[in-house]
Amino acid sequence: MLDATHAPTLKSWVPSANQPGTDFPIQNLPLGRFRRAGSTEPLRVGVAIGDEILDLQQALAAGGWSAEAQAWLAPMAAGDLNAFMAQGPAARKGLRAALSAALREGSAQQAALAPCLVAQSAAEMALPCQIGDYTDFYTGIHHATTVGKLFRPDNPLLPNYKWVPIGYHGRVSSIGVSGQQFRRPKGQFKAPDAAVPEYGPCQRLDYELELGVFVGAGNALGEPMDMERAEADWFGLCLLNDWSARDVQAWEYQPLGPFLAKNFATTISPWIVTQEALAPFRVPFAHPADDPQPLPYLDSPANRRQGGVAVQLQVQIQTAQMRAAGQGFATLSSSDFRDAYWTVAQMLAHHSANGCNLQPGDLLGSGTQSGPQPEQGGSLLELSQGGKQPLTLPGGETRRFLQDGDAIALVGRCDAAGAVGIGFGPCVGTVLPAV
């Protein structure tokens, strides 16, 4: 899975890409859509490199590409990342190699491409592609267990959890990119001691720390993906915050699952980190020996060997009071995607197992990624023990659930011995008062 694009000695002619700790060294090369801030330019696809963006529309016009690379770049220049995704893994790998060669030190294309750089600080980011469908999974077993204990102390995990990747269909229209601001949702909820429910602003607003998976070429209706195809097909990952109205959720979710509690906002990071960039951070996957082992359609030697992805995750908060005082974000919890109970390939294979057709740019949420320790909860529902134990923030404020003005930032980082670390960029959302 590793090739010359992953070499730890590889450097870029873009100076900021060589800075220690950057999210976007030349070993990353994530894709996103942007325009220059304040302009009405059509969106086009760019590549994050250091603190710059290589504008692929201008890069194509600058020349110096092979005929094959020109064909890969053409839909990107038009802002159509979905059309590129539809070309499958060979195009994804080939373009990565071409971009790596063009951006590395000593590249013959440096002089032509240098004017094609746009500072990230001068860009307005959009959703990285057109998202046709969104499905949220529940692969975080530590989250599922902790939340289950709040409601079913003697039976936290339902019988199907260790057999099948659980998911529900979400709402595409309210997905926004980092920087999203949304109104506190309203809904119907019922206090345990109340005779009747009430309608009003959510009182138990929460975040959920997740990763998003983008589908690549997908599959035709009626033609399921097997594990080998599912592994080859997924395009890349982003950070994803699945905002949740816990009081609304508790009242409405039976018998058909989440509805108004989940459809008001979902925030993702603007850059898709491709699966090739994640190759150095793949890890073995296995269910505990005492647990049910995956059924054959969810199992493969490759998935056991390297189906997991080690992504170190953090949740950070900045309250309105902190912002007014000039204070930055404070960390609430940390966890790792390697602890997920199901892999990315298993999510795609199961989603398509009944013949469901996944399409280029479809988004799958991983479910909340909590760690095994109580302080590693990926939501306030866990960290506050269902609202019973408030968290004390550095400035003395407390939180059981989110208040108006709170901003939540998700952070993702991959590091491994012998590899250059990569990151995911920002994923920030802010709660505004209800209308």
Per-residue model confidence as pLDDT tens digits over 169-212:
999 999 999 999 999 999 999 998 999 999 999 999 999 999 99
Which residues are tagged catalytic? 143
Based on the fold, state whether residues 120 and 150 are members of the same structural domain: no
The distance from CA 291 to its chain's CA centroid, rounded to whole angstroms, is: 28
Average pLDDT, the chain: 97
190 is in an annotated binding site: no
pLDDT of residue 392: 97
Is residue 255 reached through a cis peptide bond, with omega within 30 degrees of 0 on the bond before it? yes
Q: How many structural domains does the chain have?
A: 2
pLDDT of residue 154: 85
Q: Which of 63, 97, 126 is the last residue of a domain?
A: 126
Tokens of 335: 């966890």
Based on the fold, state whether residues 117 and 166 are members of the same structural domain: no
Check whether 366 has a pLDDT greater than 90.
yes
403 is in an annotated binding site: no
CATH number for 55? 2.30.30.230
Percentage of the chain exceeding pLDDT 70: 100
**What is the mean predicted confidence (pLDDT) over 394-407?**
97
pTM over 0.75: yes
Based on the fold, state whether residues 379 and 356 are members of the same structural domain: yes
Question: What confidence category does residue 85 fall into, taking pLDDT thresholds of 50, 70 and 90?
Answer: very high
Based on the fold, state whether residues 186 and 289 are members of the same structural domain: yes
231 is in an annotated binding site: no
Based on the fold, state whether residues 276 and 419 are members of the same structural domain: yes
Question: What confidence category does residue 131 fall into, taking pLDDT thresholds of 50, 70 and 90?
Answer: very high
- Give me the residues paired with residue 198 across strands: 189
**What is the mean predicted confidence (pLDDT) over 130-153?**
94
Based on the fold, state whether residues 171 and 275 are members of the same structural domain: yes
CB 204 within 8 A of CB 246: yes
Of 34-43, 145-154, 423-432, least confident by mean pLDDT is 145-154
DSSP 297: G
Based on the fold, state whether residues 248 and 392 are members of the same structural domain: yes
**What is the mean predicted confidence (pLDDT) over 76-83?**
96
Based on the fold, state whether residues 73 and 213 are members of the same structural domain: no
**What is the mean predicted confidence (pLDDT) over 277-298?**
98
Q: Which of 78, 108, 126 is the last residue of a domain?
A: 126
Q: Packing angle between helix 89-103 and helix 67-77, nearest 10 degrees?
A: 100
Report the b/e string of 102-133 with b at 16+ CB within 10 A: bbbeebebbebbeebbbebeebbbebbbbbeb
Check whether 1 has a pLDDT greater than 90.
no
CB 190 within 8 A of CB 142: no
Question: What confidence category does residue 386 fall into, taking pLDDT thresholds of 50, 70 and 90?
Answer: very high
Q: Which of 126, 161, 193 is the last residue of a domain?
A: 126
CATH number for 159? 3.90.850.10
pLDDT of residue 124: 98
Query: Could you tell me where the DSSP H helices lie in 331-398?
Result: 344-351, 380-383
Based on the fold, state whether residues 153 and 14 are members of the same structural domain: no
- Residue 148 CB coordination number (10 Å): 16
Residue numbers of the domain that contains 8: 4-126
Q: Which amino acid type is present at position 21?
A: G
**What is the mean predicted confidence (pLDDT) over 109-125?**
98
- Residue 167: which of 379, 415, 361, 342 has the closest Cα? 342
Based on the fold, state whether residues 49 and 183 are members of the same structural domain: no
Based on the fold, state whether residues 108 and 139 are members of the same structural domain: no
pLDDT of residue 189: 96
Question: What confidence category does residue 402 fall into, taking pLDDT thresholds of 50, 70 and 90?
Answer: very high
pLDDT of residue 360: 98
Question: What confidence category does residue 152 fall into, taking pLDDT thresholds of 50, 70 and 90?
Answer: confident
- Give me the residues paired with residue 241 across strands: 209, 267
210 is in an annotated binding site: yes
Check whether 25 has a pLDDT greater than 90.
yes
Based on the fold, state whether residues 100 and 224 are members of the same structural domain: no
266 is in an annotated binding site: yes
Report the b/e string of 152-181 with b at 16+ CB within 10 A: eeeeeeeeebbebbbbbebbbebbbbbebe
**What is the mean predicted confidence (pLDDT) over 261-273?**
97
pLDDT of residue 153: 86
**What is the mean predicted confidence (pLDDT) over 242-247?**
97
Check whether 151 has a pLDDT greater than 90.
no
Question: What confidence category does residue 91 fall into, taking pLDDT thresholds of 50, 70 and 90?
Answer: very high
